[in-house]
Amino acid sequence: MHDRTLGQGLTVSAIGLGCMTTTGGYSEHPDRAEMVAMVRGAVDLGVTFFDTAEIYGGHANEVLVGEALAPVRDQVVIATKFAEAIDPETHTVLGRRLLPDEVPAALDGSLRRLGVDAVDLYYQHRVNPDVPIEEYAGVLGDLIASGKTRHWGISEAAEQTIRRAHAVTPVTAIQSEYNLWWRRPEDGVLAACAELGIGFVPFSPLGKGVLTGTVTADTAFETADLRARIPRFAPDALAHNLALVEQVKGLAAEKGATPGQVALAWLLAQRPWIVPIPGTTKPHRLAENAAAADLVLTDAEVAALTAASDAVEIQGGRYPDELEAQTNL
């Protein structure tokens, strides 16, 4: 797999691995030993960029990722995130955002769970609307100077927030949802990244699975599956939204690829500093996603996919209202 460069010279594989679902999220908890083996096996496929967060699995995800990557630590880039105050004993979310002076202790906790001396990329997972972003940027600058993190980034941040943060401490990456059925980053964020030399890391690049072509209008989601609460996955909305997926499936058939690979290739074609991080719990999907880095779309094919996305007005929100309200977009 070829590499790409995010901001501040951070080099990673063109496609990374989002590790959230290895400790649950879209289903009941998968087998831990199998997930450790899968994460470790991603390196054999050329993946060098791994994404976790302290809130995933109530701290459990960082522990799993750290264990999986310990034998290959010098070959990989590990990203994790802070945002919420979490009880270190019970691992429960306390219902408030971390304040700037609490971030160093949160990073120390992540370092312990990951079993590393430094995190390669430390994201602010959600912007705190009650505290100026400049205060967090200053703290992250100090943490970079201390050597405990090498780079920092922000998730789900608006253009002006990015600009203000970057003016204090240069930002390496912005992580937000971006895919053929959610293109909000095109409204200013990608332009700011281009201007400031910041990389962009799309999470949910496959639209929480819908762009793989495996979700149908009849798909029923388990109660524990987040998609059961997402408006755009409600039956009526989903039946409408799948028109876009049919376009992706058609091109995939022509290319001898899967719909998911086409959706990832479309993202890679948008900018040379975009690095998607699809997540999975299935080794064959991991291999499929990694292979998408080698799928080249022509300019005409990219334009056709973009036009198909433009033509379908996606129905339903991408999150339940209470989760969408936590973003800074």
pLDDT digits (tens, 9 = 90+) for 195-208: 999 999 999 999 99
In-domain check, residue 181: yes
CA–CA gap between residue 7 and residue 171 (Å, rounded): 7
Asked if pLDDT for residue 28 goes beyond 80, the answer is: no
Q: Are 12 and 4 in contact (CB under 8 A)?
A: yes
Asked if pLDDT for residue 250 goes beyond 90, the answer is: yes
Between CA 322 and CA 58, with CA 206 as vertex, the angle to 5 degrees is 50
Between CA 115 and CA 120, with CA 116 as vertex, the angle to 5 degrees is 135
In-domain check, residue 302: yes
> What is the identity of the amino acid at 181?
W
Q: Which two tokens stand for residue 257?
A: 């690829």
The reported pLDDT for the residue numbered 220 is 84
pLDDT, tens digit (0-9, with 9 covering 90-100), for 110-128? 999 999 999 999 999 999 9
Q: Is the dihedral of CA 111, 10, 183, 19 positive or negative?
A: negative
The enclosing H or E element of 155 equals strand 152-155
Asked if pLDDT for residue 229 goes beyond 90, the answer is: no
Q: Are 69 and 76 in contact (CB under 8 A)?
A: yes
Q: Is the backbone of residue 73 left (phi > 0), alpha (psi -120 to 50) or beta?
A: alpha
- Residue 106: domain span: 3-324
CA–CA gap between residue 181 and residue 245 (Å, rounded): 9
Q: For this structure, is 56 an active site residue?
A: yes
Confidence label for 306 from pLDDT (cuts 50, 70 and 90): very high
The enclosing H or E element of 94 equals strand 93-97
In-domain check, residue 329: no
Q: Are 55 and 81 in contact (CB under 8 A)?
A: yes
Confidence label for 216 from pLDDT (cuts 50, 70 and 90): confident
The reported pLDDT for the residue numbered 249 is 95
- The CATH number of residue 148's host domain is 3.20.20.100
306-321 burial by CB neighbour count: b if 16+ within 10 A, else e?
A: bebbeebebeeebbee
pLDDT, tens digit (0-9, with 9 covering 90-100), for 148-198? 999 999 999 999 999 999 999 999 999 999 999 999 999 999 999 999 999
Confidence label for 27 from pLDDT (cuts 50, 70 and 90): low
Q: Which of 56, 122, 136, 178 is catalytic?
A: 56
In-domain check, residue 82: yes
- Any residues with CB less than 8 A from the CB of 208 and at least 6 apart, and which? 26, 226, 227, 230, 233
The reported pLDDT for the residue numbered 81 is 98
pTM above 0.75, yes or no: yes
Domains in the chain, number: 1
Average pLDDT over residues 10-21: 97
The reported pLDDT for the residue numbered 296 is 95
